[in-house]
A and B are shown apart, each in its own frame.
Chain A
Amino acid sequence: MIKKTFLSISMLASVSFVQALILESEILNYIDGTIVGWTSVNSIKICQKKIRHFLKEQRTVDGVSQKLFDLAIKEKKNTITPLEREGLVDFIADFVLFFEPFIITLEPIKQGITPLVVESCQRRNRANSLLAAWTKTPEGGTEELFRTNIKTYRALGELCMDLLNFTEDILSSCPKAINAYHDFIDHYRKVEPLVDALLTADKVIISHHGDLYYDLVKYIVEHFAHDEQVTVEKTNKLYTSYNIKKYL
């Protein structure tokens, strides 16, 4: 527990003021460093970044560019106009659209992470939150849950807050995964020239975006982290072996 906390704080203290919880669920012993690895950490970080982007994004509502929290405050102060209230539909639609990839990713492991969600919500006095309700929603019902339960900007903001808190709790509770994430970054720094060389070589078939690029970088990091002698021949060979590995 102490070790877990030490690791967690040392990893996260520099990037967040959030008082992350160290979750105690037994399941963490099984998933940390295994199911939840550096890729999961990366995904969670991206998820957080997207949520924050969503919160800061301005939309034209009732003829004025406004953020979600601007409207939530108007709602709280009861100064919101009917047109602004109607704009909630667009916000929810955007949120569902943005959240869709995460729903697809999380649905298969929902049962597995339910104890973690429940613990996080309970310990944060958010047991009645929409996030907690999501754990009881049958597969495929996530979008419907959001659409039917988010009736105010406040509720939408609350869901974003809960998601940020939960993801931060997960990160702080998986030190092995965080370690692996940082190891990956360190390794990546070493092979960055190799990746660049490979991407400019003749055999490159992928753009800088997408799964294949992600897999390729992962493969390079895992297998060539200590090789700093980059040649075109080596990159071609590397690419070939990557492809073989990928499809066999």
Chain B
Amino acid sequence: MNLLKRYGLVLILLTSSADVISTDYPNDIDALLDGYLNHDAKVMEFIDEGADDGLDFLNDMMPPSPMLRMVDPFTIVQLLIELGAVDILQQDFFLSTNRPARRSLLDMPLFQPNKAVFPIPCFFNTQLFFDFTPTARFTRTSSNINSYIATSEPSLLAALDEFLKALNILCNGSVVTLSIPLVLEIISGMTLVERNIGFMFQTGGRWDRLQLRILFPLYYHERNFFLSQNDLDTLALQFGFTDADLFDDSYAVADRLGIGDTRIEFGMHAIESQWCDMVLSLYATVPTAFAFAKGLAGNTYKAPGTYPSVDFNALYEAALAEEGGSETLAQQEQSYQILTGFLLDVWKRIDAALLDNGLGNEGHFGLGGSLAIDARLDQWVAQPWASCTYWHNRVALEYLFKGDDTRFYINKNNPATYPTTEEFNDPALAEENLIFLQNEIINRISLLGLSTKVQPGIIGWWKSIIAYQDPYWGGYAGTDLWFQTEEKHECISASPDLVATLDLCKSIMPWAFQYKFIAGFGYTHYTEGCTMTLGIDGDVTLFTTGVGRNYMVTLRLDAQF
């Protein structure tokens, strides 16, 4: 034992009161108060704040109140990497960005005449129709949104899960108000629904061997995302809407009222015999679609051709403040607004791609030809009823001319363009890396709506029915086959630099096919100078690809003069 310790020990033995319990103050409050009253030096020392050890800077540390003024890019880059953001960003969020294929009302079988030869001299036909597609296709093969957005991709969900776990650790388990996995889970159960209700007007006539038909619809068109009320409530709440209906109307329904394209058909009665009639026609689809009103029950959506601007700095500051335990309510509110604002912008762009359809063929002028044949059945069947029965076939092909449409694009995901680990860890490149990551966050989930020269696919259809018609009653049943080939994109109205970054293949509308069963019946009433037929028609989709299974029913009033 050295000398100093020895002296220390002596000192301890002499002065230590460690095991001696003082019965005086400060154990006794009365004695303490008495000492205070008498200004006893020891008591005054006891309650004197005095100076601590000169570490003044430590005095203000409780409670903590850090004040952030700016954020270091390198810190944020390292933070994002640590959270696994790079893994998430290298996943594809959009699997497709095409507009859903859609069959024009003008091509619907219930609006095609059931006879090759039109009445003389003229006719007027009105059909009140209701067309319903409960599950429209997002892509060629699927009516599940998972085929369009990677809401169920295991690799994305796993990366997201890791990200949130890391974020939770960083935030000391504090609750993140916006739950991205929950939002994705709800979205994965979402379906696309379409409704059309209105009138199809047809008029025309026949003059000797020539005939004419003009038709156009006046209708209300609505497309919406369908969710159960419970899911809708939850989703609305996640985006800060207390009123689920308001969220639904604002972000999940697109509708418009107006007229569609107009079709004008000239036909020539090419063959007229005892057994059959054949009419060859040329027709044009004129882009007259025009909406009188939009957003009646929902909204209209446009996807800008530019990426959104997100105030990432405010988010970082809030995140760091939260980590430091000093996030203010204003910061929380601001970061929540920024985050939901960004996601709602992303959502609106998806709405523009999937919901906001025009009332016609997107402004494309179409030219087509058709062949219609009515063959009397009594040439094959020697029955009395066969004399009133005929086999009607109508085949058509239409070419839609090129035109400028809005198509939707996502930035090409190319992990090879990411900085290497060494580059990410280089402080000199921090600002560049941060800008890269921020841009990737935006680019991965923000669709761009760009004007594109589109060559729509060729449309073809074949309607084949067996029809019975006596002087008063008539009816028919048959099938309908429709297809449209895949569209082609030519020129995109954007800078070549931007176009080079886009994933063009995902934006192409797929080819589509539909096979339907159709049937209807009607009663004819004769008056002087006019023959009126009132009928009901309906169809159901049997097979489909590219477009959804739709069902249509019409109430037909046909007048022949």
Which residues of A come within 8 Å of B, CB atoms?
A: 2, 5-6, 8-10, 15-22, 42-43, 45-46, 49-50, 52-53, 55-56, 69, 72-73, 76, 101, 123-126, 154, 157-158, 161, 164-165, 172, 182, 185, 188, 203-214, 217, 239-240, 243-244, 246-248
Contact = CB atoms under 8 A, between A and B. Distances in A.
B58 A214 contact: yes
A161 B8 contact: no
B49 A210 contact: no
B52 A210 contact: no
Interface string B28-71: 01101100110000100111111011110111111111111111
Contacts of A213: 57, 61, 66
Given A125-B21, A240-B74, A240-B427, A16 B57 contact: no
Contacts of A21: 18, 21
Given A9-B12, A247-B75, 15 more contacts: A5-B12, A5-B18, A6-B9, A19-B17, A46-B61, A50-B62, A52-B49, A52-B50, A161-B26, A161-B32, A182-B53, A209-B65, A210-B324, A212-B66, A246-B75
Contacts of B20: 19
A182 B12 CA distance: 21
B67 A209 contact: yes
Contacts of B17: 19
A239 B55 contact: no
A41 to B, nearest CB: 10
B66 A18 contact: no
Contacts of A158: 29
Contacts of A76: 30, 33
A247 B72 contact: no
A157 B32 contact: yes
B79 A247 contact: yes
Contacts of B79: 247
B325 interface: yes
Contacts of A55: 47
Nearest to A241: B427
A173 to B, nearest CB: 9
Listed residue (A8, A158, A204) with the most chain B CB atoms within 10 angstroms of its CB:
A158
A9 B32 contact: no
Listed residue (B27, B30, B67, B74) with the most chain A CB atoms within 10 angstroms of its CB:
B27
A211 B57 CA distance: 11
Tier of interface size on chain B: 35 or more
Contacts of A204: 69
A213 B37 CA distance: 41
Contact of B325 (A154, A207, A211, A239): A211
Closest 10 CB pairs of A and B: A210-B66, A211-B64, A243-B75, A22-B18, A212-B66, A207-B67, A158-B29, A52-B49, A210-B64, A19-B22
Contacts of A126: 27
A101 B18 contact: no
B33 A157 contact: yes
A56 B78 contact: no
Given A49-B49, A52-B48, A10 B29 contact: no
A18 B26 contact: yes
B66 A46 contact: no
Given A211-B61, A211-B64, A214-B64, A247 B78 contact: yes
B311 interface: no
B60 to A, nearest CB: 5
B288 interface: no
Nearest to B430: A240
Listed residue (A20, A73, A125, A214) with the most chain B CB atoms within 10 angstroms of its CB:
A214
A246 B320 CA distance: 11
Contacts of A18: 26, 46
A5 B33 contact: no
A167 B57 CA distance: 21
B228 interface: no
Given A55-B47, A73-B37, A243 B21 contact: no
Nearest to B79: A247
Given A5-B18, A217-B57, A206 B29 contact: no
A239 to B, nearest CB: 7
Contacts of A161: 26-27, 29, 32
A46 B324 contact: no
A164 B482 CA distance: 89
Nearest to B37: A73
Contacts of A50: 62
B23 interface: yes
Given A154-B29, A157-B29, A45 B52 contact: yes
B70 A5 contact: no
Contacts of B36: 69, 73
Contacts of B59: 46, 49
B495 interface: no
A208 B324 contact: no
A49 B71 CA distance: 34
B46 A73 contact: no
5 contacts: A6-B9, A42-B58, A42-B61, A73-B33, A154-B29
Given A46-B59, A247-B79, A205 B64 contact: no
B417 interface: no
B9 A205 contact: no
Contacts of B90: none
